[in-house]
Amino acid sequence: MLSSWLSGLTTRGTSFLAAGTAATVAGLVLSERSLLCVGVVLIALPAFSAFSAHRARYRLSCSRIISPPRVPAGHTARVTLQLRNVSKLPTGLLLAEDTIPYALGTRPRYVLDNIERRGVRNLSYTLRSDLRGKFEVGPLQLRVADSFGLVEISRSFSARTSLVVTPRVYPLARTMISRSWAGEGDGRSRLAATAGEDDVIPRPYRNGDDLRRVHWRSTARYGELMVRREEQRWRNRAAVLLDTRASVHVGSGPSSSFETAVSAAASIGVHLAQEGLAGQVINDQGTSLGAGMLFEDMLLDALAVIKPSRGRDLSDGLKALRMASSGVVIAVMGDLTAAEAEHLAACRTEASQAIALLLAVRTWADPSRTAHQGNGSGADPPAPGGGEAAGAAARDGIPEELAAAVAALGTAGWHVIVVDASMPLDIAWEQLPRAAEMLVPGATLAGHDPAVLA
């Protein structure tokens, strides 16, 4: 019992106890009554403080709310703690410290003095992380301290709260995915006309929605423009392939090519979900990271914790992509060889629209190197097809192997974007042809007139 009490002494309390012991011994040896009294007081003060701290059986409750519980990397979330004294006695001095992972910053600390009976204290702080992941926040630790700072006793709550930090999500232009490919043609209208009124599931109007889709009964009910959602059930699916092989990515941390690929998949997935397409995101191992019409939350949770794979080939991922390659097919690839590009190109069917984001991985290893982006710089782009086209692309700044992959995909009717380390994803996405142009099959490198490529 004595050892447990002494374990709560602070450095100041231990010093008082040591000084009091020395003064008491000296007073006894020297027969100095005043020195003896000083020693007794120095010993009694930390002992009394330890006794009082251990006897203070405060009943406290704690709740924690993180808002929002899911944030993109680089954004902040606010944590609100509510500490309630449910005992019949007021508390003494309390030192509160919330436990957070190292990646989220330093631990917040608070000094709370005298929480009254049934009293409540609200504490808040912000969290920010440049690294995606799922983090556990908590538990809250309390230290009961006396007014002299001689004793501190630690107590801890058990409650923990999860914070999900998702990849960075870039807003992508809506005009890049053809509405005809999304199932808004005449055939779609005929199918929509067969739907009964009971099947209508409205959603808020978004900029760019067809006014003919406004559901006036729901608009009057909710007080804002609402559009019919039931039409989305006939929309074509969208399949996104994410290349997570560690061997085709370079760099580490948020600036690596792998993190760029994950961010691209998250941005495209959110874009497709907002467009109402029934999407599916798969990795190179053929594992589904999210599927369905409302797969946005599932996808972001999966991408928040995804790690590079040890796989070497794309066979499983391409097999899963071929099974889901109706409508829109989008591939986010790392360092792609010409042979792998040919296998990927075969995943596009005649009835599907295909987009490939090829990362110029070498630019992440050497920032001074930038691949040719096709952004209107004036250089002629590579002709899509054949070894001669690959050589021309290499002369324009794209490595020969990457140019061969561009040519193989372009010949099969894919629309290709070559992204380097210096190009933001939203800017790269804008290089895609407009919706009407994407309906014209043919090999194109994003950002260039197809006629120039011939």
Q: What's the pLDDT band for 348 if we cut at 50, 70, 90?
A: confident
Tokens at residue 333, please?
Answer: 């690839």
DSSP notation for 315-364? HHHHHHHHHT-SSEEEEEESS--HHHHHHHHTT--TT-EEEEEEE-THHH
Distance of CA 231 to the CA centre of its chain: 30
Between 357 and 390, residue with greater pLDDT: 357
Please state, rounded to an integer, the average pLDDT across all residues of the chain.
77
pLDDT at 13 over 90: no
Ranked by mean pLDDT, which of 79-83, 177-181, 201-205 comes out on top?
79-83
Fold matches, 60-166 and 235-453? no
Rounded to an integer, what distance in angstroms lies between the CA atom of residue 257 and that of residue 246? Answer: 10
User: In this structure, are residues 121 and 83 in contact, taking their beta carbons and an 8 Å threshold?
Assistant: yes
Between 42 and 59, residue with greater pLDDT: 42
In terms of Cβ atoms closer than 10 Å to its own Cβ (0-12, 13-18, 19+), residue 406 is buried
DSSP-derived letter for residue 15 is H
Task: Note the pLDDT of residue 98.
Answer: 92
pLDDT at 441 over 60: no
Write down the CATH superfamily of domain 60-166: Immunoglobulins (2.60.40.10)
Query: pLDDT digits over 290-308, tens only?
Result: 766 567 888 888 999 999 9
Q: What's the pLDDT band for 258 if we cut at 50, 70, 90?
A: very high
Helices and strands, number each (H, E), in the chain: 15, 19
Give the mean pLDDT of 22-33: 88
Backbone angles phi, psi at 95, to 5 degrees: -110, 120
User: Helix, strand, coil % (nearest 5) of the chain?
Assistant: 35, 25, 40
Query: pLDDT digits over 116-169, tens only?
Result: 888 899 999 999 988 899 999 989 988 877 767 777 777 888 889 999 999 999
Phi-psi region of 276 (alpha: psi -120 to 50; beta: other; left: phi over 0): left
Give the mean pLDDT of 231-251: 76
Q: Where do the domains of the chain lie?
A: 2-55, 60-166, 198-231, 235-453
Give the CATH number of domain 235-453; options: 3.90.550.10, 3.90.1520.10, 3.60.21.10, 3.40.50.410. Answer: 3.40.50.410
Rounded to an integer, what distance in angstroms lies between the CA atom of residue 339 and that of residue 379? Answer: 27
pLDDT at 199 over 70: no
User: In this structure, are residues 446 and 417 in contact, taking their beta carbons and an 8 Å threshold?
Assistant: yes
Between 105 and 394, residue with greater pLDDT: 105
Contacts of 391 (CB under 8 A, 6+ apart): 400, 403
